[in-house]
Amino acid sequence: MTKKTANESAVIADYNGYDYKKIFWEDADREYEDLADRMAIRRLLPKTIQKFVDIAGGYGRLADEYLDRAKSSTLFDYSKTELAQAKELYGDRIQTKSGDIYDLPFKNDSFDALMMIRATHHFRDMQKVSDELYRILKPGGVAVVEAANKKTLPKMFRYWFKKSDVNPFSLEPAHLKNLNAQGFYNYHPKYIEAIFQKSGFKIDEVLSVSNFRSANLKKIFGTKNLVRLEKGAQKLLAPVRFAPSIYYKLVK
């Protein structure tokens, strides 16, 4: 579900009325992906934070990874449905704010740290999003951002064997229209890293995440064994940038 903004080139994923928590996470076999995300966040987020915001954080799936670290936590999302679920789960422990990702409803230099996980694939104008993240972060602040990677090994093999016309080696974003009417965007690491740097961010650390995201691997090895492998792989495989999710620790 999407919604046009005042900027007609920008599309916002609209999860109002959609039970993302139940349909995408609870009813699907995504325990491995969830644990892989959490592992990366624990490695990259500062241990103590004054003011924190979770951008496009949905219902607060990952809130328990930052609530004990931050003195003040805000959950931002476009979907009021998701934010209402977050309030049910966490009550007064978390503040919620809805709005437009391309025009965040926060003042300049508002937060000491932020994160944005599993959201970049929705954004057509990643430069604008990155600029907004930079704007609301305090000087010296940390942003942990996950990017959907177009340069994965499965995508390379599909391209080499002519199963897909999406070139994983080209720098332009891949618009995967086959996924739904609007499609999802995947980004080449060099492309997304140039965007962060153009905004003014310094790339402090990179992790390769969800390295073993495969239904077949889950059946063969089981989630617990894949998580064990993931622990060592996130840092080891970071230089090659082959995982479906690439995590960045960015500093303003």
For 98-151, the three-class secondary structure string (H helix, E strand, C coil) is ECECCECCCCCCCEEEEEECCCHHHCCCHHHHHHHHHHHEEEEEEEEEEEEECC
User: What is the tens place of the pLDDT at every residue in 103-115?
Assistant: 999 999 999 999 9
- Structural domains in the chain, CATH included, are 2-251 (3.40.50.150)
Confidence of residue 7 (pLDDT cuts 50, 70, 90): very low
Residue closest to 134 by CA, chosen among 246, 11, 53, 251 = 251
| pLDDT tens-digit map of 177-228 | 655 555 689 999 999 999 999 999 999 999 999 999 988 999 999 999 999 9
Other C-beta atoms closer than 10 Å to the C-beta of 141 total 23
Q: What angle do CA 186, 192, 196 make, to 5 degrees?
A: 145
How distant, in Å, are the alpha carbons of 152, 177, 192, 233 from that of 241?
8, 23, 12, 11
CB atoms within 10 A of CB 194: 13
Q: Is the pTM of this model over 0.85?
A: yes
Return the ∠ at Cα 24 (arms to 18 and 30), rounded to 5°. 165
Reduce the secondary structure of 183-201 to three states and give it as a string: CEEEECHHHHHHHHHHHCC
In the 8-state DSSP scheme, what is residue 205?
E
Average pLDDT over residues 115-135: 95
Predicted confidence (pLDDT) per residue in 52-87, tens digit: 999 999 999 999 999 999 999 999 999 999 999 999
Which positions ≥6 away from 216 have C-beta within 8 Å? none
Quick one: which of 250, 245, 185 has its CA closest to 34? Answer: 245
Give the burial class of 145: count Cβ atoms within 10 A of its Cβ; 0-12 exposed, 13-18 middle, 19 or more buried. Answer: buried
Cβ–Cβ contacts within 10 Å for residue 63, how many?
Answer: 20
